[in-house]
C-alpha cells in the first residue's frame, strides 16, 4: 500500500507532440492518498484509461514522473510495481480453475505453497467464492469472473493500489449494485487504495471518497462527491455531475451588475474582468417552486413533467424563452401548463465566468 | 418442419459420408485383390466376387523384385515431417506472438509488412525454389539427407505457422497479457504461463497444417533426395513399373494416409472445443 503521486505526468501517443491536442493525457499533478477510494470520471476517450495504464505501468508516460511513496517508479516495469488491475471485461485465465487463478500472482512471486493456500482461502472467503474454488474459471458468470480478477489483486498483501477500469460495464444492474458494495466493503476491511474508472456518475458518487473528473485529457476537478455537486469548478463538471445537469443561465453585464431578464437574480460584476461569457449555474435540486408568487425571483410555465419514482423532473419555460429543469418531490401536485413561482437561495446560484467558477462563488 | 429439416440433413450427411468414404473402401478392397480380380472387370465382395490375396500388403515389406520395403521411407517421412513441423511451430509461434503484441519498425517496414513477408514465401510456385534449394543444399552437403529436407520443409512450413498463429494471437485479448504482467509475470513469462496454455486450439490447427503439408509433399522430396533418404510419396511412385501393381499401390496409399487420419481423430476435439471462449466476456 502506498501513496501515489502523479508529478506533472502527461502522455502523448505521438512521438513528437506539437500542441495541447496531441496529448491523450495533458500534464497533471495529482495525489492519491493511501487507503481511500477514488473514482476517475469522464466521458469516453478523455484519458481515464491512459492514466490508469500509466499507473499500472502498461503505458510508459511520455512526460513527467510517477511516485509510489516518494519513490520514482516511472520506469519500473509492470510486474515489479505491485499494482492490481481489473479490466472492463472479465479477464481470467480460462484454462485454470478458480483456485489456480487466485494463486497465480503468488506463484509468479515464488511464494511458499502453504502460504499461497492460506491466502487463497482467505480471499475466497472475502469474495464469497469458497464454493467455486475447484470449478474451471471459464464456467463462472461475468460478475463472478470480475470477482476473480479482483481476487487476484487482493491475494497479494503488498499491492499498492487496485485499479478498476470500468469493471461493472458488463455486469447486470442488480449485480452491479452488489459488487459496488462489495468493493467498498473490501476497501474498509483491507484498507486497500482503489481507483475506479467510470463514465457513470452515480457509480462514482456512491463508490468514491474522492472523484477526479476529466475531459479531453485534462483534469477538470477533483474533490469529494459533495464538493463536485455543490461547487462544480466549471460548466463541464456542472453538466457532467448531476442528473439532470446544472442549469446554466446567461447573464448580461448592466450598470456594474450581472443580471438576466429571465429571473430576478443579480451578481456583482467582477472588477477588471474582460471575460465574454457570464453564466449563472443552478442545480435543478436547488430550485424551489411554489404556486404563489410571493418571495419568488421569477415565473416559469411548466412544459414537461417526468416521473422518476420519488422525484420528478419539471421542465420550466421562463418568460424570455429560457428553459430550465427543476428536481422536486412535489411534482405530483403540478400540471403541465401551470405557472409556478421560482425561488433559489442566493448561495446556490453560482457565477461562472467564461465557463469557470468565479472566486466569489467558491 | 424441424423434423423434415432434420431428416433432410441426415440424408444429405449420409450421402456425403458415402461419397467421402467410398475411395477408401475401394482402395481397401483393391489392396486384397490379385491381378486377375483387377483386370477382369469390377469386383466388389471378397470370397464371392474374388479370392482375397495378401500379396499387396506383403509386397510392401519385402525387398527385391517382388516389392519394396517401405519401413525405411516411413521412418524418414515421419522424422522429416515431425521435426520440421515442430521447429516451424516453435519458431512460428514465437514470431507470431511478437508480431501480434509488439511494434516493430525497420525503416518503413512495419508489423503488417513483416507478416506479409512471411506469407509471401508461399506466393511463388514451388518449382521456382527447386534449383536454389538444390544448389544451397549441395553447398551445405545436405543433399539426400534428412537434415537437408528438414531445412527446406521448415522454410515452407514456417509461413503457415506464422500466418495461423498471428491470426490466433490477434484474437486473444491483449488484456490477458496485461493481466498477467500486473499479476507479476515478465512479458516472456506472460507468454509461456498464460498465453500459450490458452493457445492450444491455434497450435493444433497450425500443427495440423504443418503435418499435412510436410507429410504430403512430393516435389521437394523428389528433387532433393536420391538413394540414401527416401520419403513415402517418392517411394510410392517408384512402385510404378510396366505392370501397375494396383494392389500394392492401394495398400501403400492406405498406410500413408493412416498417420494423418489418426492425428485428425486425436486432435479433432481440441479444434472444435474453442478453449478461448470465456477468457474474456
- pLDDT tens figures, B148-193: 999 999 999 999 999 999 989 998 888 889 889 888 888 888 999 9
Where do the domains of chain B lie, and which CATH numbers do they carry? 21-55 (no CATH), 71-273 (1.10.3720.10)
Asked if A84 reaches chain B (Cβ–Cβ under 8 Å), the answer is yes
Residues of A with Cβ-Cβ distance to B182 under 8 angstroms: 56-58, 78-79, 81, 83-85, 153
Q: Answer yes or no: is pLDDT of B272 > 60.
A: no
Neighbours of A32 (CB within 10 A): 23
Contact A251, A353 (CB under 8 A): no
The answer to whether the Cβ–Cβ distance between B186 and A77 falls below 8 Å is: yes
Q: Which residue's C-alpha cell is 482375397?
A: B52
Q: For residue A127, what is its C-alpha cell?
A: 469474495
- In the predicted model, what is the mean pLDDT of residues A274-300? 85
pLDDT at site A39: 93
Helices (H), B122-199: 127-140, 146-170, 174-182, 187-190, 196-198
Q: Which element (helix H / strand E) includes B223?
A: helix B219-223
The answer to whether the Cβ–Cβ distance between A91 and B173 falls below 8 Å is: yes
Q: Which residue's C-alpha cell is 403541465?
A: A336
Nearest CA among B111, B92, B99 for reference residue B162: B92
The answer to whether the Cβ–Cβ distance between B183 and A56 falls below 8 Å is: no
The model's pLDDT over B32-72, given as tens digits with 9 standing for 90+, comes to 888 777 777 777 777 887 888 888 888 888 776 666 788 88
Distance from CA of A46 to the nearest CA of B (A): 20
Distance from CA of B176 to the nearest CA of A (A): 6
CA distances from A320 to A300, A323, A352, B70 (A): 10, 9, 20, 99
Residue with more model confidence, B81 or A331: B81
> Measured between alpha carbons, how far is A1 from A193 in angstroms, rounded to an integer?
7
**C-alpha distance across the termini of chain B, in Å:** 35
Q: For residue A159, what is its C-alpha cell?
A: 499491492
Of A104, A138, A170, the CB nearest to B279: A138
Residues of A with Cβ-Cβ distance to B279 under 8 angstroms: 91-94, 138
Where do the domains of chain A lie, and which CATH numbers do they carry? 4-239 (3.40.50.300), 247-361 (2.40.50.140)
Q: Answer yes or no: is pLDDT of B249 > 80.
A: yes
Q: Answer yes or no: is pLDDT of A38 > 50.
A: yes
Residues of B with Cβ-Cβ distance to A58 under 8 angstroms: 178, 181-182
Q: Answer yes or no: is pLDDT of A116 > 70.
A: yes
Distance from CA of B96 to the nearest CA of A (A): 21
Considering all CA atoms of chain A, what is the largest pairwise distance in Å, rounded to the nearest integer? Answer: 79
CB pairs under 8 A between A and B: 85
Neighbours of B259 (CB within 10 A): 17
The answer to whether the Cβ–Cβ distance between A91 and B277 falls below 8 Å is: no
Cis upstream peptide for A244 (omega within 30°): yes
Contacts 24+ apart (CB under 8 A), B265-269: B267/B204, B267/B207, B267/B208
The answer to whether the Cβ–Cβ distance between A91 and B276 falls below 8 Å is: no
The complex's ipTM works out to 0.72
Please, which pLDDT band fits residue A269 given cuts at 50, 70 and 90?
Answer: confident
Residues 22-81 of A with CB under 8 A from B: 56-58, 77-79, 81
Q: For residue A284, what is its C-alpha cell?
A: 435543478
Q: Answer yes or no: is pLDDT of B280 > 70.
A: no
The answer to whether the Cβ–Cβ distance between A108 and B184 falls below 8 Å is: yes
The answer to whether the Cβ–Cβ distance between A84 and B182 falls below 8 Å is: yes
pLDDT at site A264: 83
The answer to whether the Cβ–Cβ distance between B281 and A138 falls below 8 Å is: no
Minimum Cα–Cα distance from A83: chain B residue: B182
Substitution target from B179, B190, B202, B204 for chain A, most A beta carbons within 10 A: B179
Residues of B with Cβ-Cβ distance to A105 under 8 angstroms: 183-184
pLDDT at site A212: 93
The answer to whether the Cβ–Cβ distance between A79 and B186 falls below 8 Å is: yes
Give SS3 for B51: coil
Distance from CA of A93 to the nearest CA of B (A): 6
Contact A82, A156 (CB under 8 A): yes
pLDDT at site B278: 42
Asked if A328 reaches chain B (Cβ–Cβ under 8 Å), the answer is no
The answer to whether the Cβ–Cβ distance between B182 and A83 falls below 8 Å is: yes
Residues of A with Cβ-Cβ distance to B181 under 8 angstroms: 57-58, 77-79
Q: Answer yes or no: is pLDDT of B281 > 70.
A: no
Residues of B with Cβ-Cβ distance to A78 under 8 angstroms: 178, 181-182
Q: Answer yes or no: is pLDDT of A129 > 50.
A: yes
Q: Which residue's C-alpha cell is 467455486?
A: A132
Give every CB contact of residue B63 below 8 A, 6+ residues apart in sequence: B69
Q: Cα A48 vs. chain centroid, distance in angstroms?
A: 10
Residue with more model confidence, B92 or B245: B92
pTM: 0.76
> Measured between alpha carbons, how far is B108 from A14 in angstroms, rounded to an integer?
17
DSSP code at position A91: B
Q: Answer yes or no: is pLDDT of B279 > 50.
A: no
pLDDT at site A272: 66
What is the C-alpha radius of gyration for chain A, rounded to an integer number of angstroms? 25
**Average confidence score pLDDT of chain A:** 88
pLDDT at site B18: 93
Neighbours of A169 (CB within 10 A): 16
The model's pLDDT over A321-361, given as tens digits with 9 standing for 90+, comes to 889 999 999 888 888 988 888 888 888 889 898 888 887 76
Q: Answer yes or no: is pLDDT of B25 > 80.
A: yes
The model's pLDDT over A177-217, given as tens digits with 9 standing for 90+, comes to 888 888 888 888 888 899 999 888 888 888 899 999 999 88
Give SS3 for A277: coil
Please, which pLDDT band fits residue B5 given cuts at 50, 70 and 90?
Answer: very high
pLDDT at site B50: 80
Look at phi and psi of residue A70 and say left if phi exceeds 0, alpha if psi is from -120 to 50, else beta: left
Distance from CA of B117 to the nearest CA of A (A): 26
**C-alpha distance across the termini of chain A, in Å:** 34
Residue with more model confidence, A256 or A148: A148
> Measured between alpha carbons, how far is B35 from B28 in angstroms, rounded to an integer?
15
Amino acid at each position: 500500500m502506498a501513496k501515489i503521486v502523479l508529478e506533472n505526468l502527461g502522455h502523448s501517443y505521438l512521438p513528437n507532440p506539437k500542441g495541447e491536442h496531441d496529448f491523450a493525457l495533458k500534464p497533471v499533478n495529482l495525489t492519491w492518498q493511501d487507503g481511500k477510494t477514488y473514482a476517475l470520471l469522464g466521458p469516453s476517450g478523455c484519458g481515464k484509461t491512459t492514466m490508469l495504464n500509466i499507473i499500472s505501468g502498461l503505458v510508459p508516460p511520455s512526460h513527467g514522473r510517477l511516485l509510489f511513496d516518494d519513490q520514482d517508479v516511472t520506469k519500473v516495469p509492470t510486474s515489479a510495481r505491485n499494482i492490481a488491475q481489473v479490466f472492463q471485461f472479465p479477464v481470467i485465465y480460462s484454462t485454470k480453475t478458480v483456485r489456480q487463478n487466485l494463486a497465480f500472482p503468488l506463484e509468479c512471486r515464488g511464494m511458499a505453497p502453504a502460504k499461497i493456500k492460506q491466502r487463497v482461502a482467505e480471499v475466497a472467503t472475502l469474495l464469497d467464492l469458497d464454493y467455486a474454488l475447484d470449478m474451471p474459471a471459464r464456467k463462472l458468470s461475468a460478475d463472478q469472473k470480475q470477482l476473480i480478477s479482483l481476487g487476484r489483486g487482493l491475494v497479494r498483501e503488498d499491492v499498492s493500489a487496485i485499479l478498476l477500469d470500468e469493471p461493472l460495464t458488463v455486469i447486470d444492474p442488480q449485480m452491479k449494485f452488489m459488487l459496488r458494495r462489495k468493493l467498498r466493503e473490501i476497501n474498509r476491511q483491507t484498507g486497500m487504495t482503489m481507483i475506479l474508472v467510470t463514465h457513470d456518475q452515480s457509480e462514482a458518487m456512491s463508490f468514491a471518497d474522492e472523484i477526479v473528473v476529466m475531459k479531453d485529457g485534462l483534469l477538470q476537478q477533483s474533490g469529494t462527491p459533495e464538493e463536485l455537486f455543490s461547487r462544480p469548478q466549471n460548466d463541464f463538471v456542472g453538466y457532467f455531475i448531476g442528473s439532470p445537469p446544472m442549469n446554466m443561465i446567461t447573464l448580461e453585464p448592466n450598470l456594474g451588475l450581472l443580471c438576466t431578464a429571465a429571473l430576478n437574480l443579480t451578481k456583482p460584476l467582477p472588477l477588471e474582468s474582460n471575460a465574454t461569457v457570464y453564466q449563472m449555474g443552478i442545480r435543478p435540486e436547488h430550485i424551489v417552486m411554489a404556486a404563489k408568487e410571493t418571495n419568488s425571483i421569477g415565473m416559469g410555465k411548466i412544459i414537461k413533467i417526468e416521473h422518476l419514482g420519488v422525484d420528478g423532473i419539471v421542465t420550466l419555460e421562463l418568460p424570455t424563452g429560457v428553459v430550465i429543469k427543476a428536481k422536486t418531490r412535489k411534482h405530483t401536485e403540478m400540471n403541465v401548463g401551470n405557472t409556478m413561482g421560482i425561488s433559489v437561495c442566493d448561495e446556490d446560484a453560482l457565477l461562472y465566468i467564461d465557463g469557470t467558477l468565479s472566486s466569489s462563488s467558491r | 418442419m424441424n423434423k423434415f429439416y432434420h431428416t433432410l440433413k441426415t440424408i444429405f450427411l449420409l450421402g456425403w459420408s458415402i461419397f467421402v468414404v467410398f475411395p477408401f473402401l475401394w482402395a481397401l478392397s483393391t489392396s486384397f485383390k490379385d491381378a486377375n480380380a483387377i483386370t477382369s472387370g469390377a469386383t466388389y465382395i471378397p470370397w464371392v466376387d474374388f479370392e482375397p490375396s495378401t500379396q499387396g500388403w506383403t509386397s510392401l515389406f519385402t525387398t527385391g523384385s517382388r516389392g519394396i520395403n517401405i519401413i525405411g521411407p516411413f521412418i524418414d517421412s515421419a522424422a522429416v515431417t515431425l521435426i520440421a513441423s515442430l521447429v516451424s511451430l516453435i519458431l512460428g509461434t514465437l514470431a507470431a506472438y511478437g508480431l501480434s503484441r509488439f511494434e516493430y519498425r525497420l525503416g518503413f517496414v512495419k508489423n503488417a509488412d513483416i507478416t506479409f513477408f512471411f506469407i509471401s514465401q508461399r506466393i511463388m510456385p514451388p518449382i521456382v525454389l527447386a534449383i536454389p534449394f538444390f544448389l544451397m543444399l549441395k553447398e551445405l552437403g545436405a543433399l539426400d539427407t534428412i537434415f537437408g529436407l528438414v531445412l527446406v520443409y521448415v522454410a515452407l512450413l514456417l509461413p503457415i505457422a506464422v500466418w495461423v498463429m498471428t491470426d490466433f494471437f490477434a484474437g486473444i485479448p491483449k488484456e490477458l497479457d496485461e493481466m498477467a504482467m500486473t499479476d507479476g509475470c515478465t512479458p516472456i513469462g506472460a507468454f509461456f504461463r498464460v498465453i500459450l496454455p490458452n493457445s492450444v486450439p491455434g497450435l493444433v490447427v497450425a500443427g495440423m497444417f504443418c503435418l499435412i503439408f510436410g507429410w504430403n509433399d512430393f516435389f521437394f522430396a523428389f528433387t532433393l533426395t536420391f538413394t540414401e533418404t527416401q520419403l513415402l510419396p517418392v517411394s510410392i511412385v517408384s512402385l510404378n513399373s510396366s505392370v501397375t501393381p494396383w494392389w500394392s499401390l492401394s495398400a501403400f496409399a492406405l498406410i500413408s494416409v493412416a498417420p494423418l487420419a489418426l492425428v485428425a481423430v486425436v486432435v479433432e476435439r481440441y479444434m472444435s472445443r474453442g478453449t478461448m471462449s470465456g477468457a474474456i466476456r
